Amino acid sequence: MVKICCIGAGYVGGPTMAVIALKCPDVEVVVVDISEARIAGWNSDRLPIYEPGLDDVVKRCRGRNLFFSTDVERYVGEADVVFVSVNTPTKTRGLGAGKAADLTYWESAARMIADVSRSDKIVVEKSTVPVKTAEAIEKILAHNGRGVRYQILSNPEFLAEGTAVRDLFAPDRVLIGGRETPEGQAAVKVLKDVYARWVPEDRIITTNLWSAELSKLAANAFLAQRISSVNAISALCEATGADVTEVACSIGKDSRIGPRFLSASVGFGGSCFQKDILNLVYICECYGLPEVADYWRQVIGINDYQKSRFVNRVVSSMFNTVAGKKVAVLGFAFKKDTGDTRETPAIDVCRGLLGDKAVVSIYDPQVTEEQVRRDLAMNKFDWDHPRHLQPVGEPADQPVAVTSDAYEAAHDAHAVCILTEWEEFRNLDYRRMYDLMQKPAFVFDGRNIVDPEKLRDIGFIVYAIGKPLDQWLKDMPAVA
């Protein structure tokens, strides 16, 4: 029986190990983390992350062959296979600051593995890491191994939050990279045999280590590029009177392009896209490829432009000031069906509105008031450190309220900004909301989930990204 241990009980480690335990009932799976609060959450009825279907998977396995513990050294020492799923934040100081991945936590994990191991181990990179990280980890383990042999594998995750359990049950592909040696290929087979319990063999891809490491960065860069591409077109649509939804539908019918990731929005967020592209930019610069670095940097540039463009549209439409005006923000998570707020566009939009002295009222069905206030007080990139190491000061005394429903948020507001595509926002009683608001009442739809014409019939002035502009908006400047 293979014993598996995963270091890191976050958005990747927890769900991945839970599904492995469910599909491989004869395999002992232990998820370890130094955060007592996080492990307590995994052992409770209220899991520390929200993901549809995850509760059921955990409850079916927990206590049988799935365990959560803070006894990191014990379970790492006992394991045959050690997954490492720790934070790899963007460096905020020193060489590569603002772009390079900070591998402090990865190096610490590698040294701990070497300290506690008394038997040969397969160490699996599950975190997104720069190309050639495996080489550095091999050196640390080799120089501290005391005769213990290690094989390093790269097994990047390709999960989408909100559908992570479904993605794990039926993945597009499982990628395993290993050394092209007999020992390396034997380690690849061990991990491949685990996934083969439920994943068809033609969906399990094996490569060398470097291809697997780079594939993760490249995949996220390509996905983010599509979002920035359609967002760039959305700006042109507004200027010309075209409809970005119609344009996206048209080009998505081309089988060479396809329809996925062509929804214009206020911008992309989440823990991976920006961080991984910045990492890719830094790697390109290190290898003397400045033109390639500049190309990928512009994907982030367009994303930042889209967020600032949205804020400018709000301010300019409301007589060029939102000072003292209440603005309701519907949605704070970076996408629907998750409580994850990492790099959410809502942070930059709220900060932009607060910078113009708006009074902001926020509602999100899965994000707590504590998380909202932490995010608005936190410095860029600090979110990717373990929670107890996040250098958050006292939240500034800002005019921000967090409400328990959308109508409370909109009460007496001058405008509503829709920043997350939660299904409940599609079905709100907008007539009731209109009656609660100051007039003229504005809706700024950053996710294109409402019908602009229906809202205009109610009386709203509506801005929807990439859609033909309301006459009111045509008469207002696009930039505040």
Q: Are residues 298 and 415 in the same domain?
A: yes
pLDDT of 473 reads 82
Q: Are residues 188 and 275 in the same domain?
A: no
Residue 218 inside a domain? The answer is no
Last residue of a domain, one of 199, 232, 260: 199
Nearest by Cα to 113 from 140, 132, 88 = 140
272: annotated active-site residue: yes
Residues 146, 117: Cα–Cα separation, whole Å: 9
Q: Are residues 193 and 302 in the same domain?
A: no
The partner residues of 175 in beta bridges, in order of sequence, read 205
- Describe the strand order of the beta sheet including 415-418 as a list of residue ranges: 400-402, 359-363, 326-330, 415-418, 442-445, 461-464
Domain boundaries, position 101: 3-199
Cβ-based neighbours of 149, under 8 Å, separated by 6 or more:
120, 183
pLDDT of 382 reads 59
Q: Are residues 156 and 67 in the same domain?
A: yes
53 labelled as ligand-binding?
no
pLDDT of 97 reads 84
pLDDT of 128 reads 74
Q: Are residues 163 and 259 in the same domain?
A: no
pTM, rounded to two decimals: 0.89
Q: Are residues 189 and 101 in the same domain?
A: yes
Residue 441 inside a domain? The answer is yes
Q: Are residues 334 and 193 in the same domain?
A: no
Q: Are residues 368 and 431 in the same domain?
A: yes
87 labelled as ligand-binding?
yes
197 labelled as ligand-binding?
no
Predicted confidence (pLDDT) per residue in 360-411, tens digit: 999 999 999 999 999 998 876 555 555 555 555 555 578 999 999 999 999 9
Q: Are residues 100 and 168 in the same domain?
A: yes
What phi and psi, each to the nearest 5 degrees, are found at residue 335? -160, 170
Q: Residue ranges of the chain with pLDDT lower than 70?
A: 1, 380-396, 477-480
CATH number at residue 136: 3.40.50.720
Residue 236 inside a domain? The answer is no
HEC letters along 262-325: CCCCCCCCCCCHHHHHHHHHHHHHHCCCHHHHHHHHHHHHHHHHHHHHHHHHHHHHCCCCCCCC
pLDDT of 394 reads 52
Helix 54-61 × helix 13-23 angle, to 10°: 50
Residue 204 inside a domain? The answer is no
Per DSSP (E only), the strands in 164-286 are: 174-178, 204-208
Q: Are residues 190 and 262 in the same domain?
A: no
89 labelled as ligand-binding?
yes
Among the listed residues 272, 284, 350, 417, the single catalytic one is: 272
**Domain count for the chain:** 2
Both tokens of 179, joined, read 């050394």
Q: Are residues 178 and 326 in the same domain?
A: no
Residue 207 inside a domain? The answer is no
What phi and psi, each to the nearest 5 degrees, are found at residue 30? -125, 125
The total of other beta-carbon atoms located within 10 Å of residue 255's CB is: 6
The total of other beta-carbon atoms located within 10 Å of residue 314's CB is: 25
Last residue of a domain, one of 176, 199, 222: 199
pLDDT of 101 reads 80
207 labelled as ligand-binding?
no
Residue 360 inside a domain? The answer is yes
Residue 253 inside a domain? The answer is yes
The partner residues of 401 in beta bridges, in order of sequence, read 361
313 labelled as ligand-binding?
no
pLDDT of 426 reads 97
Residue 137 inside a domain? The answer is yes
Last residue of a domain, one of 199, 219, 251: 199
Cβ distance 303 to 231 under 8 Å? yes
Q: Are residues 145 and 291 in the same domain?
A: no
